[in-house]
Structure 1
Amino acid sequence: MKKKFKKYLYMLAAATATLTSCKKDFLDIQPTHLVSDVSILADSMLFQNYVLNRYLGVKLSGNEGEGSPPGFGRAFEYAMLSSITDESMANHDDNTWLIQRGQLAPENTGMAGTIWARSYRSIREVNYALTNIDKVNMSSGNKNRLTGELKFIRAFRYHDLIRNYGGAVLVGDKVTSLTDDLQDPSLFKRSTIKESIDYAVAELDDAAQRLPLNNDNSWVLGRATKGAALALKSRLLLYAASPLYILANDPSAKPNYANGANTSDPTRWQAAAAAAKAVMDLNKYSLYQGGYRQLFLSQDNNEVIFQRLYTKNARHVPMELNNGPNGYNGWGGNVPLQNMVDAYPMSNGKLITDPTSGYDPQNPYVNRDPRFYATILFNGASYRGSTVETYTPGGKDSQEGPSNWNTSKSGYYLRKFMDDNNPIDNPWEVAGFQPWIYFRYAEILLNYAEAQNEAAGPDASVYNAINAIRSRASVNMPDLPLGLNKEQMRAAIRAERRIELAFEEHRFYDVRRWTIAEVTENIPAYGVTVTRSGNTFNYNQKVALSGRRFDPQHYWLPIPRFEIQASGGQLTQNPFY
């Protein structure tokens, strides 16, 4: 075999090392913690467990172990994807600042460095199962449903590749091994974005036909359903209709992303609207009415379409310890930026920049959108029987408080996802069980509203979708004003999406697909300085993280340089890198 080979192909092949038998040799020792492929294919329960374990691979980045699960820990351990956007910053860096500062390069990929290899490893593991499923002694019904799960997981992996890199290398059902010719040029040929999305959507259509509508006693909570497959299709087709995906369809091209605002294809928007409507027409999902904050702590409610669940043996990072204020012995991990705080409108629906909104810059947290209070901790916020104090002098959550190295650099702390029933001190045995929601019904309504507005204008169905989100219990925001034109509705939908889906890993991809990142990501990362004089607080804007920068090449992640080199230069790098 040639000595040169692609690292991701090596990882894909190595992933089966645990499933392969070797020739018996005097020195061969069978590890007790590994299961051979012979055993897996001979036992239907072992095979099903192999399939279920593939869900653990539906991750974007992070360490190989359970210390960095999806959503709650994307970087080396604790940083969230929001901290490489204008939503938040990682207080202790966690390999995110270089991305915020525009230093991302093929040789230096920061917290995003493992997406390519991890995705192809997972695809290879799925391919192994799909290739061998007919050898397993089980009913045709079980095989059909497991095949649907595997196709969904593989499509999820391709969706991660597409939204981060653009055109993917489509490997089909091939199971690569170390004995293959890993210098075969076909192994490195990148398809266009359209070809990649068409492939993933076809897989999801197939999966949706095989998967059950409901989780029940035989299909436990957390496994993919028909709704999960259709929700992923909805997201993919929304992306496919967005300006970035039209401009950058050819992976070898160098498009002018600044022209994105003028790029539109009504037929793509129609397809995206129809995909979202297909989820709505299942009549299975609804907006959770039990409180916006509680939505993210509940393991079973009608808004959740697909989620990652956690157990005592597989927890995520303790959110309360990681993100809590330093005055409560928290580490201040992912701290919201002033950029995000200023995006929340007043409770009357008006932006704070509107002189008629009632906004007072010296009393800035009064009468804001209720989702603000469920998402962000600010000076004066009630928290755990006390009050957050980010002011100086003397505020317990400022740099003058305890553990001052954990003081928020932005002047804010994260509230969303935090469970007050969990301890901050010594949380290791009782915390880290909040589910991570990949898809929920509010996203589908937002997908539909955006696509339908672009395809047909702001008709009644667009208003209904957005107003349903705004008017649900615990939010109670006023309906959008009537008479908006397409451009005004577009701005309203984007603003609603930013608020409703804050910190849920949408902003990073949204500003890119809309081709507005050269504006939003070049705005400094702002925070607030709060000073107290008697009973009066003064609020002044500051720069929380210096040097924030975004260049055109950053619309897509770079493929790591070692991947390009290992392919002998056959793998095409993204534009401008």
Structure 2
Amino acid sequence: MKKNYSWTCLVFMAVVFTVSSCKKAFEDKPLELLTIDYIFDENDPTGDQAYKWVTNIYTKIPSGYNRMLGGSSWGLNGGQRSNISLVPLECFSDDAVPSADGNEGWNIIRGGYSPVTTFDDNWGNCYSAIRAANIFLMNYQRVPWADSSRRVWLPNEARALRTYFYYELIRRYGGVPLIGDKIFDSNDAGLLNLKRNSFQECVNYIVSELDIAKDSLRPDASLAGRTTDADFGKMRKSIVMAIKAKVLLLAASPLFNPSSTPGRSYTGYASYNAERWKAAADAAKAVMDLGIYDLEPNRYTLMLARANKEHIFFRMSDPRIDNSYSYYMSPPGYKPANRNSEGRVSPTQEFVDAFPMKNGKAVTDASSGYNLSNPYTNRDPRLDQTVFYNGAKWLQRPVEIFEGGKDKPNDAILAPVQTQTGYYAKKFCANDSSSANYTNTFFRDGGFVPPWCIIRYADILLMYAEAQNEYSGPDASVYAAIEKIRQRAGLSPYALPPGLSQGQMREVVRNERRIELAFEEQRFWDIRRWKIAKAVYGTTLHGVTITKNANGTFNYSPKVVTTPYFTDAMYLFPIAIKETQVNGGMEQNPGY
């Protein structure tokens, strides 16, 4: 059998990584002359090429709205286009579906994923990044660094990046092979018999490596310094601490910290341990106690300014600006500059109903003031910032999602793609309700969306509230963390009812995560780590059909959109068949 499998990444990805990334970073020397000796030049005190090597590892970090389906869609770093492009992971949760009937994402929604037809398969991508980090760690001391800071910062930066890619692996697959500092070559027999480490071993390794790196990185920048720091977004102590909190929260969650034995060591711990929640709470609290992050008063700042009070860890963006993203997401009846908008994402009714009234009460509460005939009035302001609903103001006119309206004309020529649910996704668009055109925002790598934030301070607050509540119940610190977010959101009153039980607070935290962090790739992972995906996603999802009456009022009728396919096996991703066929030591996840 030919060795045409992804584990070859561990052998050859150094070359692929170099060639693909050097197009941007290493054009000062012909590609055929790029060697380890050139990159880690013993006669170059600047170490610029070695520095660029580390910088290019960041391009492997997965970014939102550009997901891989069986390796055929538009890749993380560019490449082949596919009609799954610009579909966020929330389209594979209970929050949204793709608007286009022909979008490849519907294959996942209706049929799930398997070792043959994988989804968001980052196995090869992550191990190639881990290999690149190992190459740097093995060779960086060959460089006669004139800048002693680089000699200290860069190896720890590579170490921290390596752990982040292990985190990306374990949240998809559970325990995975830990290769340490090993750099395999094609003749290494061990490459074909690599076994999976237990989930606990992976978590212990990641946390240990993060602890080693955290105090030997670039110092954290002040808010003023972030706006001019060209390296803002690269690994700092606070980022490493935030990643640690993420890892420990994952490890404490029901998927991996079950009340009964999970069966196989790489799918979780052997038994439940409440102390894991305490470890996660302590890690999140440590980030809070740094005192260098806070909530931005205006949530739209998060879409328009990469460097702000709230962003902790994000994927670096191209400094160019554009308004393409607004065209992709806005309802199809809007055509500023004579260019069609596309409305590619359709939020579900379940998601819309998760937003409370402005008084903080759920729409299901009879005392909330919710009106079925006027369902979007006096709602949590975050609804207007996240969803295009019928009657919302956008580009100086009301959105028309009623049957035959400008944004749902039921005419394939006027609008080839229309909402499946009666809603369109608005998150990450600028505040253009009164504008004549879409506001320019930063590109991310390759174009299309604003800076992709992986961890922000609101997430840290909610992580702390969740972990602390699970460990010791809803104490004053849990209330304070959640109410800080609700206050910024504009709820009045923002205070939660006193005396909530642990279970009631759990539901509050989960709902706050859903609406505050909407379309930031949190819900997809949250419903899996909480092990509720089968109940909330593997069930019927709804939308609304809106008809306009002669007197200008509207009727809102619920409609069934889809019932996604989801099994217990799908809480973890399958390992691609190409990996298990050629690696005798690679055991598949249960149920595949």
Q: TM-score scaled to structure 2, two decimals?
A: 0.86
Q: Are 2:502 and 1:486 equivalent residues in the alignment?
A: yes
Q: Are 2:548 and 1:540 equivalent residues in the alignment?
A: no
Give, in whole Å, the separation in 1 of the partners of 2:60 and 2:197. 23
Q: Which amino acid aligns with 2:558?
A: Q
Q: Contact between 1:209 and 1:226, CA under 8 Å: does it hold in 2?
A: yes
Q: Contact between 2:192 and 2:583, CA under 8 Å: does it hold in 1?
A: no
Give, in whole Å, the separation in 2 of the partners of 1:385 and 1:77. 29
Q: Deviations over 1:403-457 (max 9, x none)?
A: 3221111111111101348967999999736211111111111111111111111
Q: Contact between 2:534 and 2:567, CA under 8 Å: does it hold in 1?
A: yes
**Aligned pairs for 1:21-420 within 5 A:** 31-32=30-31, 35-42=34-41, 43=44, 44-59=47-62, 61-62=67-68, 68=76, 76-92=84-100, 94-110=103-119, 112=120, 114-138=121-145, 139-181=147-189, 183-185=191-193, 188-215=194-221, 216=225, 220-247=231-258, 252=264, 264-289=272-297, 291-311=298-318, 318-328=324-334, 329-400=340-411, 403-419=414-430, 420=432
Q: Deviations over 1:304-336 (max 9, x none)?
A: 1111232257x8993212222111121221221
Q: What is residue 466 of structure 1 aligned with on the other side?
A: 482
Give, in whole Å, the separation in 2 of the partners of 1:498 and 1:370. 14
Change in CA separation of 1:521 and 1:316 when aligned onto 2, cut-off 3 Å:
farther
Give, in whole Å, the separation in 2 of the partners of 1:434 and 1:378. 22
Q: What is residue 26 of structure 1 aligned with on the other side?
A: none
Q: Larger deviation: 276-285 or 330-339? A: 330-339
Q: Contact between 1:151 and 1:207, CA under 8 Å: does it hold in 2?
A: yes
Q: Contact between 2:160 and 2:210, CA under 8 Å: does it hold in 1?
A: yes
Q: Which amino acid aligns with 2:363?
A: I
Q: Are 2:22 and 1:11 equivalent residues in the alignment?
A: no
Give, in whole Å, the separation in 2 of the partners of 1:441 and 1:425. 25
Change in CA separation of 1:483 and 1:74 when aligned onto 2, cut-off 3 Å:
farther
1:525 Cα deviation after fit: 2.4
Q: Contact between 1:67 and 1:316, CA under 8 Å: does it hold in 2?
A: no
Give 3-state SS (helix, strand or coil) of 1:174's partner.
coil
1:282 Cα deviation after fit: 0.7
Change in CA separation of 1:9 and 1:164 when aligned onto 2, cut-off 3 Å:
same
Q: Contact between 2:318 and 2:442, CA under 8 Å: does it hold in 1?
A: no
Q: Are 2:541 and 1:525 equivalent residues in the alignment?
A: yes
1:64 Cα deviation after fit: 9.8
Q: Which amino acid aligns with 1:539?
A: Y
1:35 Cα deviation after fit: 2.9
Q: TM-score scaled to structure 1, two decimals?
A: 0.88
Give, in whole Å, the separation in 2 of the partners of 1:116 and 1:75. 22
Q: Which amino acid aligns with 2:156?
A: G
1:79 Cα deviation after fit: 1.2
Q: Contact between 1:323 and 1:333, CA under 8 Å: does it hold in 2?
A: yes
Q: Larger deviation: 95-104 or 361-370? A: 95-104
Unaligned runs of 5+ in 1: 22-29
Give, in whole Å, the separation in 1 of the partners of 2:367 and 2:322. 44
Q: Contact between 1:9 and 1:121, CA under 8 Å: does it hold in 2?
A: no
Q: Are 2:579 and 1:573 equivalent residues in the alignment?
A: no
Q: Deviations over 1:215-248 (max 9, x none)?
A: 4567622212111100010011011111111239
Give 3-state SS (helix, strand or coil) of 1:171's partner.
coil
Give 3-state SS (helix, strand or coil) of 2:206's partner.
helix
Give 3-state SS (helix, strand or coil) of 1:307's partner.
strand
Give, in whole Å, the separation in 2 of the partners of 1:339 and 1:326. 23
Q: Larger deviation: 424-433 or 99-108? A: 424-433
Give, in whole Å, the separation in 2 of the partners of 1:400 and 1:499. 32
Give 3-state SS (helix, strand or coil) of 2:453's partner.
strand
**How many equivalent residue pairs?**
552
Change in CA separation of 1:11 and 1:222 when aligned onto 2, cut-off 3 Å:
same
Change in CA separation of 1:401 and 1:357 when aligned onto 2, cut-off 3 Å:
farther
Unaligned runs of 5+ in 2: 20-28, 335-339
Give 3-state SS (helix, strand or coil) of 2:178's partner.
coil
| Percentage of matched positions with identical amino acids | 37
Give 3-state SS (helix, strand or coil) of 1:437's partner.
strand
Change in CA separation of 1:402 and 1:349 when aligned onto 2, cut-off 3 Å:
farther
1:342 Cα deviation after fit: 0.9
Q: Are 2:467 and 1:451 equivalent residues in the alignment?
A: yes
Change in CA separation of 1:429 and 1:502 when aligned onto 2, cut-off 3 Å:
closer
1:253 Cα deviation after fit: 6.5
Q: Supply the RMSD in Å over aligned alpha carbons.
A: 3.1
Q: Which amino acid aligns with 2:204?
A: D
Q: What is residue 26 of structure 2 aligned with on the other side?
A: none
Change in CA separation of 1:343 and 1:232 when aligned onto 2, cut-off 3 Å:
same
Give, in whole Å, the separation in 1 of the partners of 2:549 and 2:528. 43
Q: Contact between 1:564 and 1:572, CA under 8 Å: does it hold in 2?
A: yes
Q: Deviations over 1:371-409 (max 9, x none)?
A: 111000011111112221011234344424863221111
Change in CA separation of 1:317 and 1:521 when aligned onto 2, cut-off 3 Å:
farther
Change in CA separation of 1:433 and 1:377 when aligned onto 2, cut-off 3 Å:
closer
Give 3-state SS (helix, strand or coil) of 2:546's partner.
strand
Q: Contact between 1:394 and 1:400, CA under 8 Å: does it hold in 2?
A: no
Give 3-state SS (helix, strand or coil) of 1:137's partner.
coil
Q: What is residue 25 of structure 1 aligned with on the other side?
A: none
Q: Which amino acid aligns with 1:13?
A: V
Q: Which amino acid aligns with 1:320?
A: S
Change in CA separation of 1:310 and 1:422 when aligned onto 2, cut-off 3 Å:
farther
Q: Contact between 1:388 and 1:397, CA under 8 Å: does it hold in 2?
A: no
Q: Deviations over 1:118-140 (max 9, x none)?
A: 11111111111111111112144
Q: Larger deviation: 171-180 or 276-285? A: 171-180
